[in-house]
Structure 1
Amino acid sequence: MSSLARDAAAFKSSLQRQDFTTWHSNPQNATPDSTQASSPPPEPSQKKKKQKSNIVYSQPADTGTGTNVNTQLVYAVDHLKQQGNPMRLQDLAIITNTPLDTNATLLERFRAHDRVIHDPKTDLYSYRHDFTFRTKQQLLTEIQRHTRKGGGLSVRSLKDSWKEAPAAIEELEKDGDVLVTRTAKDGQMRMVFWNELKPEEGNGGMPVEQEFQEVWHKLKVPPDADLLRSLANEGLQATAAETPVPKAPVGRKKGRKQAPRQRQAKLTNAHLRGDIDLSSSGPFGK
């Protein structure tokens, strides 16, 4: 057997003993340098954009109720008014975010406020409203009392004292117990008065029919001259308040008097010959 044949047989036997399973399952382990070289380089991380802040460092932080004692007092009293029910001082301080329970100056001014009521037995605080009624009948009694004095009541002030006041006023108006004035723009209630003459049969308070109301509104007041002539024909005389004021003549301004016109005199000098005229109309005048 030649040497060439022996070499070929040795090469075949070495190939049969070689294990290629690892190379086929994980080819990257076989050529680590080539795989790493072919992979793309990692992209650089993008820089995050800075968000603009709306904070103005020259202004104090907005705490809602401010830092001034008077401002905090207004917030506390206004919340007590809107609440309507008595409250503890600690609860009011937490809700309004004010140091009512820690600031002695604020607490002193709060207790001295003319609209704040403090009950020492229960240690509760409440708001002093203009009125204390809580029923429709009590509201009607209050309206009657003010109407007899010669005036009505503002619907806004009644609503501040009792939230159900506007609805109760509308019910009283439908029943004919009160008279309500409203705004011309949106018809909101403004003032309320007690109706002394209720629209009931046999009681002298029936409303005027619509036909007569239209006839009344169609009537026109005659001019002053025709009115005075009609009164004179009937033997009547107008009162001083109805007498027309005479108008000032047209063309002259009120409050200015014209100065009287001065007559020009002829001025002469006796020492000069020829009797020379020295007045403004003469040859030496202006």
Structure 2
Amino acid sequence: MATRDNPLNKSWITSSTPATIIPVSSSAGTTDEPPAKRAKKSKPKPDVVYSQPANTGSGQNTLTQLVYAINYLKSNQNPMRLQELAILTDTPLMTDAALLDRFKTHDRVVHDPKTDLYSYRHDYAFKNKASLLTEIQRHTRHGGGLSVRSLKETWKEAPQAIEELEKEGDVLVTRTVKDGQMRFVFWNEVRPDEDKGGIPVEKEFQDLWHSLTVPADADLLKALASEGLQATAAEQLIPKLPQGKKKGKKGAPRNRQSRITNVHLKGEVDLTKDYVAPSGSQK
């Protein structure tokens, strides 16, 4: 009678081999969690704004590299060496002859042969508060103010200096209505000095002035009439014409000359008369 093999009698299993149990830590998260949930716990990717183009450097085009180098020179307030500019902008200014020639001949690039330094030529030349006020005075006398943005490009501390000059009463500043940012600056020709009569208006009168409202065009004449005033000829309202097509006048009928045909019968038959065919004649 055949007997079934007992798996415990195999030669590779000995009674001296103890059974061991390997504990699984619950923090590992490999046995209790499904594979789909474990895949979600992968390393998070860094935030990438896909709407903004990636910075690819100065590019390969000569004109692009030229603009890149000049803009960097403009943002730097101090003069720079050509080697330093080429390294910081990653442009071949030292090896590309065509690019170097365009750079040196640019109207905004200034080269100092004594120091061999390059700088950007701004619209204005000032580096302190006193020279800034002189520049504002010079332009205001010609009938215009200066843009605060352009002044900031020349000197980064220009906005702070303008605010100080405004508090001292030397300049007048126009600001945006939305956020109060400075836009243009003008020289204050009338200083707030009691001897010169340029004292500032009291706040009470400023509030009264701003509280006044101008009536609408339709009520303007009534408001003037109630105060015993009369509008000038330039301010009178012009009545509106009725909308629609304008009917033009009909012109006199033209006497058109009739065209006479059958000119070969001229002299034999009077073509200006109407003739009636005689009765019984065939048409």
Report the TM-score when normalising by structure 2: 0.64
SS in 2 for 1:181: strand
Distance, in Å, in 2 between the alignment partners of 1:207 and 1:142 is 25
Distance, in Å, in 2 between the alignment partners of 1:181 and 1:114 is 31
SS in 1 for 2:233: coil
Identify the residue that residue 229 of structure 1 maps to in structure 2.
Answer: 225
SS in 1 for 2:186: strand
Alignment check: 8 A CA contact 1:88 1:125 kept: yes
Identify the residue that residue 247 of structure 2 maps to in structure 1.
Answer: 257
Q: Output aligned runs, 1:1-286, within 5 Å.
A: 34=12, 63-221=56-214, 223-226=219-222, 229=225, 238-249=231-242, 252-253=243-244, 255-257=245-247
SS in 1 for 2:119: strand
**Deviation of the 1:229 alpha carbon:** 3.5
Alignment check: 8 A CA contact 2:81 2:117 kept: yes
**Deviation of the 1:238 alpha carbon:** 3.8
Alignment check: 8 A CA contact 2:169 2:192 kept: yes
Distance, in Å, in 2 between the alignment partners of 1:139 and 1:184 is 25
| Deviation >4 Å, runs of 4+ | none
Select the structure with the greater relative contact order (CA < 8 A; seq sep ≥ 6): 2
Which 5+ residue runs of structure 1 have no aligned equivalent? 1-32, 39-60, 261-270, 272-286
Listed one character per residue, the Cα deviations across residues 122-161 of structure 1 (whole Å, up to 9, x for unaligned) are: 2211110111111111110111111111100000000000
SS in 2 for 1:121: coil
Distance, in Å, in 2 between the alignment partners of 1:154 and 1:62 is 30
Identify the residue that residue 28 of structure 1 maps to in structure 2.
Answer: none
**Deviation of the 1:219 alpha carbon:** 3.0
Distance, in Å, in 2 between the alignment partners of 1:62 and 1:138 is 38
Alignment check: 8 A CA contact 1:224 1:244 kept: no
> Percent of pairs identical after alignment?
65
Distance, in Å, in 2 between the alignment partners of 1:86 and 1:218 is 53
Alignment check: 8 A CA contact 1:65 1:72 kept: yes
SS in 1 for 2:123: coil
CA RMSD of aligned residues (A): 2.7
**Deviation of the 1:202 alpha carbon:** 2.7
Listed one character per residue, the Cα deviations across residues 200-224 of structure 1 (whole Å, up to 9, x for unaligned) are: 2232111111211222233344533
Distance, in Å, in 1 between the alignment partners of 2:95 and 2:246 is 72
Distance, in Å, in 2 between the alignment partners of 1:174 and 1:122 is 40
- Code of the residue aligned with 1:180 in structure 2: it is V
- Code of the residue aligned with 2:178 in structure 1: it is K
Alignment check: 8 A CA contact 1:155 1:190 kept: yes
The change in CA–CA distance for 1:106 and 1:248 in structure 2 (over 3 A counts) is: same
SS in 1 for 2:172: strand
Listed one character per residue, the Cα deviations across residues 145-178 of structure 1 (whole Å, up to 9, x for unaligned) are: 1111110000000000011100000000000110
Distance, in Å, in 2 between the alignment partners of 1:188 and 1:73 is 32
Report the TM-score when normalising by structure 1: 0.63
Distance, in Å, in 2 between the alignment partners of 1:203 and 1:116 is 45
Bigger proportion of residues as helix? 1
Distance, in Å, in 1 between the alignment partners of 2:62 and 2:233 is 61
SS in 2 for 1:241: helix
**Deviation of the 1:258 alpha carbon:** 7.1
Which 5+ residue runs of structure 2 have no aligned equivalent? 1-10, 18-53, 251-275, 277-283
